[in-house]
Amino acid sequence: MASSTPDPRRWWALAIIAIAQFVVIMDTSIIGVALPEIQRALQFSQPDLSWVFNAYVIAFGGLLLLGGRLADLYGARRVFMAGFAILGGASLITGLAPSESVLLAGRALQPRPESATHLARHAARLRPGHAFAVATVL
């Protein structure tokens, strides 16, 4: 039985994935601080304001399986990079949103579940304790 040496780049991959996952979690968390200013600047009604958060969470949950399937079909790295490009563009749209509808559309485009898919894929290449420790911290 031949032993294969682990890829030394696996730790870099884990670091990049951990940063990506941190950005996703931070984006979900920080919106609570910004909601009062968003409501004032864009004249959101109180019931509609909840959609600023919900658009992100619903899209994240709904796209999680799709992100994994796209990674299977087109390659995890390619899907991961495309996801980050979409995240950057959606963040720009959201940050410059002149109206409620543009803000909500940008928030719905922001979730990038490919980072979670990547973490799961690379966990198999790492020592299990290390990968899950990083995932737990995030």
pLDDT in tens, 63-121: 777 877 888 888 877 887 888 788 888 889 988 999 989 988 888 888 765 555 555 55
The token duo for 118 is: 């990547």
User: How many domains are there within the chain?
Assistant: 1
Q: What's the domain range around 89?
A: 13-25+45-137
4 found inside a domain: no
Residue 61 burial (C-beta neighbours within 10 Å; 0-12, 13-18, 19+): exposed
34 found inside a domain: no
Q: Of residues 48 and 14, which shows the higher confidence score? A: 48
Residue 127 has pLDDT above 80, yes or no: no
66 found inside a domain: yes
